[in-house]
A and B are shown apart, each in its own frame.
Chain A
Amino acid sequence: MPQLISILAFVLLLTISVPQVFARTTPEDIFNERRETYETKRQTFSLENQKKLDLYEEEIKNLNKFISEELENNTLRQGEILNEYILRNDIPTVPETDGIARNLSDPVENARYWITYAHEAIAFQAAKNYMFGLSSEANIDRDIIVQIGALQNDIGILKGKVEKSKTALIQMLKK
Chain B
Amino acid sequence: MINAKSIIAVVFIAMLVGVLYVLFEKNFPGTPAAGESTYSFGEKKSAPVEVKPQEKSSLIKLPEAEGSPEPITGSTDLLKEAESLQMRDNSTYFEELKETVND
Binding site for B on A (CB under 8 A): 1-2, 5, 8-9, 12-13, 15-16, 20, 29, 32, 36, 39-40, 43, 54-56, 58-60, 62-63, 66-67, 69-71, 73-74, 77-78, 80-81, 84-85, 88, 141, 144-145, 148-149, 151-152, 155, 159, 162-163, 166, 169-170, 173-174
Contact = CB atoms under 8 A, between A and B. Distances in A.
A5 B8 contact: yes
Interface in B71-89: 72, 74, 76, 78-79, 81-83, 85, 87-88
A32 B40 CA distance: 12
A77 B76 CA distance: 13
Nearest to A169: B82
Secondary structure call for the A interface? helix
B44 A59 contact: no
B30 to A, nearest CB: 15
B42 interface: yes
B12 A9 contact: yes
A69 B88 CA distance: 12
* Contact residues on B (Cβ < 8 Å of other chain), bracket: 35 or more
Contacts of B47: 39-40, 43
Contacts, number: 114
Contacts of B42: 29, 32
Contacts of B90: 63, 67, 152, 155
Interface string B50-80: 0010011111101001100100101010110
A78 B102 CA distance: 40
Contacts of A80: 72
Given A58-B52, A63-B93, 15 more contacts: A2-B8, A43-B47, A56-B101, A59-B57, A63-B90, A63-B97, A67-B88, A67-B90, A70-B87, A80-B72, A84-B78, A148-B97, A166-B82, A173-B82, A174-B79
